[in-house]
Structure 1
Amino acid sequence: MKHERLLVWQRSVGLSVEIYRYFASCKDYGFKDQITRSGLSIPSNIAEGVERRSDKETIHFLGIAKGSAAELSTQVLIGKNIGLIDADNSDRWRVEIIEIAAMLGGLMNKLAMASD
């Protein structure tokens, strides 16, 4: 599958796995469900978009992935503020999310310019 070659997909999978493992024993099921779902959404939407037929469809799904990155960043910050995520992990994850979002934006711009 061509999405598996993308560094942005690989990094988002790694982040999702790390977050999922971190919350494996968390008893706050509502928060755990929400944060793991937004983490899973990023690589899932990258994969779906890249496997689509048109650049327009790909850009659409990459935009959804970028939105999920913003959602995840917000949840990580809230998790830190309420004591569910330690500061080291929170800060590291937020840096990774920012980099993933930037990579998604760059890919979207590249595809948009190619289809003009």
Structure 2
Amino acid sequence: MEEKHYQTFEDLLVWEEGMQLCVQVYALLKDCRDYSFRDQIQRSAVSVPSNIAEGFERQTDKEFVQFLFIAKGSCAELRTQLYLAGELNFIEKKQSVVYVEKTKKLSSMLQNLIKVRRARIQ
């Protein structure tokens, strides 16, 4: 299977998915009155596509992988906060489940990209 060569980070499906999830998280918690929690979960959501973009622009696979791991960590942080949002009734539990699944999908996409990029370093 031929590997695709992307010109910009905007070409990456994982970045696009991260952006969509970020926008959705902002909308989901727009009415949350716990401003500290809302700020933290928004920061986690923003961190995912931001680190994908920053890593891509570093131009080396080694640095890109490092930033993909940071994005993956932020995705796990976001997933934890979505569980909490459901438990604390900031969002409905069924919404929490839906968005937790989205973070799992995104984390899997990140892991697959890490695997591909790591293979190029070896």
Question: Scaled by the length of structure 2, what TM-score is found?
Answer: 0.91
Q: Per-residue displacement from partner, 1:12-65 (whole Å, max 9, x unpaired)?
A: 100100111122222110100000100000000001011112101000100000
Q: How big is the shift at 1:114? A: 1.1
Deviation of 1:88 after TM superposition, in Å, equals: 2.3
- Structure 1 counterpart of 2:36, one-letter code: G
The alignment status of 1:63 with 2:93, answered yes or no, reads no
The one-letter code matched in structure 1 to 2:56 is V
Runs of 4+ in 1 over 4 A off after TM superposition: none
Which letter maps to 1:50?
F
- Tell me what 2:40 maps to: 34
Q: Which residue does the alignment assign to 1:43?
A: 49
Counterpart amino acid of residue 25 in structure 2:
I
Runs (5+) with no aligned partner, structure 2: 1-6
Separation in 2 of the partners of 1:42 and 1:58?
Answer: 13
Inter-partner Cα distance in structure 2 for 1:106 and 1:22: 28
The sequence identity of aligned pairs, in percent, is 41
1:12 is aligned, of 11, 18, 41, to 18
Say how many residue pairs are matched.
116
Contact 2:29 2:91 in 1 (8 A): no
Amino acid at match of 2:114: M
Most deviating of 31-40 and 17-26: 17-26
Aligned counterpart, 2:82: 76
> Which residue of the other structure, out of 94, 110, 115, is the alignment partner of 2:100?
94
The TM-score, its normalising length taken from structure 1, stands at 0.96
Find the aligned partners of 2:94 and 2:77 in 1 and give their Cα distance: 19
Superposition CA RMSD, Å? 1.0
* Amino acid in the other structure paired with 1:2: T
